[in-house]
Structure 1
């Protein structure tokens, strides 16, 4: 499938896929009594759309394979990390705060309609929207020679984000595993440069993926030709960054962590999102 007709078909199948995935995830969460299982399905949704784009798309095969493998490495690592992180634990404080604020708790536990509307539906729509570059790229023409420079920059940014996220998660896991750190704030390694290295890494990955897809060649539709179709999907990485920083990511985590001893001081010396050297504490 190529052109806008191919994109429309691929978009429809992708939307159906995330709807089924979120429905299954919601059922699992209902059974477990917690909604943070949606974090496990987050990466898996992108992996599924990437492979649908590879199989159903008729665009450049090299670009489709690179995207399918790249998104799979990122998504499967994230899904496994979230599975291990949440195993045997209760609800994530971010979602508990969200549901409390929106009336999501009833006398018998989380209200299904609120949970679906506030968590699973929003996550599913976000997965589909952020994946639009994958779908557009899958039905577009080969990458022109000069555009491989843009593609290379995108790959480099993807690798940077993947490493930043994976290393940050490993550092935090090792920190929490040490009993001597119980009750302390993680402020070492990448966590000394940004309070959210995992979210910064995620954002970098998807800006890199978008740059790679933006290198796609012209897309023929009927008798017209659309140049650089990947540029039309720039709102997708913008949406991903918004979710990571303001919607369900860093902002909610900051709200749940704000009351912990030492966190205010950590906020004063450490960047919120973009990495930079830590500030020297002011003498008072």
Structure 2
């Protein structure tokens, strides 16, 4: 494929791929501790490998067609696939609940993102990535790592050799998941409806949940993964407790890497000169909700 614009050195992308795979291997070792095995191979490790294989298989036609259209959808399908595989090992109430919660979240978010990209025509994040083989491959590899790290606690619990009753942690975790899921869904709908109004094409949203937080959808996502970790925790053993880093990973990803920093930078570039946006930014927390001040 001809590339008219010089790209970044392939070595950097290869190093990124290697680091992602190494982190995944470490998580696979921890999550497999005293877990179920299939023909002598730890089920958690097999599922971790599957998460990456799916990405690489879809990456090939995506690169050849120079399309990112199915990137988010593939991530969603990967979540559903890995929990479907895991639940075949243990079908106790905890495993069934975790599989359902992860699948519901993944299908909802995946369809939302897929339709958003379809309506927009393309995802501008990939414009300078997809022409370059290894750089584009690295983004798919990182998606595999995202799936594994985010769902690690759930997958470890579902493939664990321990199956305690749900008990209070199950109730508390489910409550947090329901609250977080509701917040994320409502926030996404409010923003989608706002953007569909042509009159708002050059405006920023600041009503509804967006008056409480500049990124309420991210707060909801972090909250629901905390709920999943709480549900999963009683079934974990030894090194499997390392998988409880899942909600911390989600928090760091959304607040330090690809979520809030990118969106805030874009918002500042577009509305930073407006006094109304400056006031909104000053009065509204970036993540954790705070009731807006009543208008005078």
| Structure 2 counterparts to residues 124-139 of structure 1, below 5 A | 124-138=144-158, 139=160
Contact 2:63 2:136 in 1 (8 A): no
Contact 2:69 2:118 in 1 (8 A): no
1:202 aligns with 2:221: yes
Could you tell me how far 1:186 is from its partner in structure 2? 0.7
How many equivalent residue pairs?
A: 258
CA–CA distance in structure 2, aligned partners of residues 253 and 276 of structure 1? 20
| Structure 2 counterparts to residues 1-284 of structure 1, below 5 A | 3-4=34-35, 6=37, 9-27=42-60, 29-30=62-63, 33-35=66-68, 37-55=70-88, 57-58=89-90, 61-95=92-126, 99=128, 104=129, 110-117=131-138, 119-138=139-158, 139-144=160-165, 148-216=167-235, 231-261=241-271, 262=274, 263-278=277-292
CA 10–182 in structure 1, closer or farther in 2 if over 3 Å, else same: same
RMSD across aligned positions (CA): 2.8
Could you tell me how far 1:270 is from its partner in structure 2? 1.3
Query: In structure 2, the residue corresponding to 1:243 is in which secondary structure?
Result: helix
Could you tell me how far 1:82 is from its partner in structure 2? 0.7
Could you tell me how far 1:63 is from its partner in structure 2? 0.8
Could you tell me how far 1:25 is from its partner in structure 2? 3.8
- Stretches (4+) displaced over 4 A: 93-96
CA–CA distance in structure 2, aligned partners of residues 128 and 76 of structure 1? 16
The equivalent residue for 2:19 is none
Q: Deviations over 1:198-227 (max 9, x none)?
A: 21111111111000001227x5xxxxxx5x
Contact 1:194 1:271 in 2 (8 A): yes
- What residue ranges of structure 2 are gaps of 5+ in the alignment? 1-31
Task: Give the TM-score, by structure 1 length.
Answer: 0.80
Q: Deviations over 1:99-119 (max 9, x none)?
A: 5xxxx4xxxx631211222x2
Contact 1:172 1:186 in 2 (8 A): yes
Task: Give the TM-score, by structure 2 length.
Answer: 0.77
CA 249–11 in structure 1, closer or farther in 2 if over 3 Å, else same: same
Query: In structure 2, the residue corresponding to 1:110 is in which secondary structure?
Result: coil
